[in-house]
Amino acid sequence: MSSPDAGSPSAIAPLLTPAGWELLNRVGPYVEAQALTLNESLRREGHPPELVAAVLSQARLRARAADKFGEFARSMLFTPDGLEQATRLSVAALHAQRFVTAGLRRVADLGCGIGADAMALAALDREVTAVERDETTAAVATLNLMPWPNARVVQADATAVDLTDVDGVWLDPARRTGHTTRTGGGARRLFDPESFSPPFSFVETLAAGGTPVGVKLGPGLAHEAVPTGAEAQWVSVDGGVAEVGLWFGPLHRPDVARAAVVLPAHGAPAELTSPEPFDPGTWDGEVGPVGRYVIEPDGAVIRAGLVTDLARHLQAHQLNDQIAYLSADTHVATPFARAYTVREVLPFHLKTMRAWVREHRVGTLEIKKRGIAQTPEQIRRDLAPKGSGRATLIITRLGAAEKRVAIVADPIPR
């Protein structure tokens, strides 16, 4: 775990000296099991305790950052909160491409954090002004953007920056209160967009004034909160929904109101779109029985309200009009969902399910559920799996009768 104040000025400042930077890059990849030995070794070399602590904390952050930044993480600086909120580079590249496609060369990244989106913009030859209010974070962003002469960092309040000379604006508002401290515990996540920094009303004011704007928000944003005239694009990375991006002006594609982008661990991104805003009162899907396959849409598809669109694309139907499980008798490979081959359908009775698990000697039991109050942990505990077999149970409700079932299924490799 990172030191509670790994993002404080006292933890970052020692690394901004030639000696500190050289030592950080000399320690190599961080291995937790070797941390104590490394600590003692560096102190025996005569390095000050505060420098050693800063180096080890930063090495831990670099190791954690590899998932988001790949090889770039080895030469970057991080703060714990900055890394937590930072856009992973594959997603930042999607953001940056919007500005390229719209022909916007001079971009202000307001609230740039540690500089992830600014890095992607600069790598695509945009002239970037990265603005960050926090002094320590601004220093970190400055170092991270040093390889790109077309990017500069300004320490300032994002709402007070002169935007006269920019063509477009990108924002990733801070969605946490302060940062982690030794005495104050972890930073608290904010959910009210007006509590973000800068607040969402600032984004709307920019857009209303004609500024091309893109903004990153949490994926839980309700459809009714999407401003009229904005395109909403939900993005998932390797199965987890990471964000929703709202796009205004020329950054908004004229034929898209909402979209779901799926970024696999390996391979190209895939996108499903709709030209119409989401209206929960106009459901136009089909409901049917459990077929040969059960299909679980990606979270971005669900968040974007594109489940029925995906069902039509796959020639499938929903098992219940309120639940995002699909079924079909034919399998169509798609990046937008995970498919399972159905073995059998059991009634959702613990006695029946427990008997099935015992009969098939199931010890490894994956439980997926929607529309059922019990948690997977509760169900697994009740079923007490024990044995060498493996199985997946998809627990849900069927049709208008709301019949509860447990579908025994095998995942189809992607």
Q: Report pLDDT for 182.
A: 33
**What CATH number does residue 244 fall under?**
3.40.50.150
276 CB contacts (<8 Å, ≥6 apart)?
A: 257, 258
Complete edge-to-edge strand list for the sheet that includes strand 231-237: 151-155, 127-132, 106-110, 168-171, 213-217, 240-247, 231-237, 258-263, 270-274
Burial of 391 (0-12, 13-18, 19+ CB in 10 A): buried
| pLDDT value for 269 | 93
DSSP state of 101: H
Q: Look at residues 135, 139, 112 and name the one whose alpha carbon lies nearest to residue 16.
A: 139
- Encoded tokens for 211: 């500024």
Domain contains 387: yes
Least confident piece of the model among 28-32, 221-225, 270-274 = 28-32
pLDDT at residue number 346: 97
CA-CA distance, 32 to 34, in Å (whole number)? 5
Inform me whether the pLDDT recorded for 233 exceeds 80: yes
Beta-sheet strands, E only, within 87-191: 106-110, 127-132, 151-155, 168-171, 176-177, 188-189
The mean predicted confidence, pLDDT, of the chain is 92
**pLDDT value, residue 28:** 80
pLDDT tens digits for range 184-197: 345 666 667 777 88
Taking alpha carbons only, the member of 313, 310, 304 closest to residue 260 is 304
**Stretch 107-130: mean pLDDT, rounded?**
97
For residues 206 and 176, state if they share a domain: yes
User: Could you read off the pLDDT of 200-213 as tens digits, one per residue?
Assistant: 999 999 999 999 99
**Is there a domain that residue 77 lies in?**
no
Whether residues 352 and 319 fall in one domain: yes
The answer on 309 and 256 residing in a single domain is no
The verdict on residue 74 lying in a domain is no
At 265 the pLDDT is 77
Indicate the burial class of 371 (C-beta count within 10 angstroms; 0-12, 13-18, 19 or more).
middle
Confirm whether 2 is domain-assigned. no
Tokens representing 386 are 């024990």
Residue with tokens 């220093």: 139
Q: Are 3 and 130 in contact (CB under 8 A)?
A: no
For the chain, what is the domain count?
3
Task: Yes or no: say if 174 and 85 are a contact pair by the CB < 8 Å rule.
Answer: yes
Mean pLDDT score, 261-282: 91
Pair 120, 252 in one domain: yes
Q: For residue range 283-329, what is the model confidence (pLDDT) as tens digits?
A: 889 999 999 999 999 999 999 999 999 999 999 999 999 999 999 99
pLDDT over 90 (residue 366): yes
Report, as an integer, the average pLDDT of 347-367: 95
Give the model's pLDDT for residue 286.
96
Please report the pLDDT score of residue 267 as a whole number: 79
Residues 296, 382: Cα–Cα separation, whole Å? 24
Three-class SS of residue 38?
Answer: helix
- The alpha carbon dihedral of 191, 96, 64, 233 has a sign of positive
**198-205 long-range Cβ contacts below 8 angstroms, 24+ apart:** 198/110, 198/111, 198/158, 198/159, 198/171, 198/173, 199/173, 200/173, 202/158, 202/159, 203/171, 203/173, 203/246
In this structure, the answer to whether residues 307 and 206 fall within a common structural domain is no
Q: What is the domain range of residue 35?
A: 9-63
Residue 270 and residue 298 in one domain: no
The verdict on 174 and 256 lying in the same domain is yes
Q: Are residues 353 and 227 in the same domain?
A: no
Statement to judge: residues 228 and 182 lie in one domain: yes
Q: Give residue 181's pLDDT band: very low, low, confident or very high (50, 70, 90).
A: very low
Q: Are residues 184 and 269 in the same domain?
A: yes
Report, as an integer, the average pLDDT of 217-244: 95
What percent of the chain shows pLDDT beyond 90? 83
Report the C-alpha gap between 126 and 8 in whole angstroms. 31
Average pLDDT over residues 377-390: 94
pLDDT of 1 reads 39
**pLDDT bucket at 3, cuts 50 / 70 / 90:** very low
334 has a pLDDT exceeding 60: yes
Q: State the pLDDT at residue 180.
A: 42
Residue 228 lies in a domain: yes
In a domain, 187, yes or no: yes
> Which tokens is 9 given?
């000025």
In a domain, 281, yes or no: no
Q: Does residue 283 contact residue 321 with C-beta atoms inside 8 Å?
A: yes
pLDDT tens figures, 49-99: 999 999 999 999 999 999 999 999 999 999 999 999 999 999 999 999 999
Q: Are residues 114 and 250 in the same domain?
A: yes
Examine residue 335 and say whether the peptide bond preceding it is cis (omega within 30 degrees of 0). no
**306 shares a domain with 199:** no
Residue 3 within a domain: no
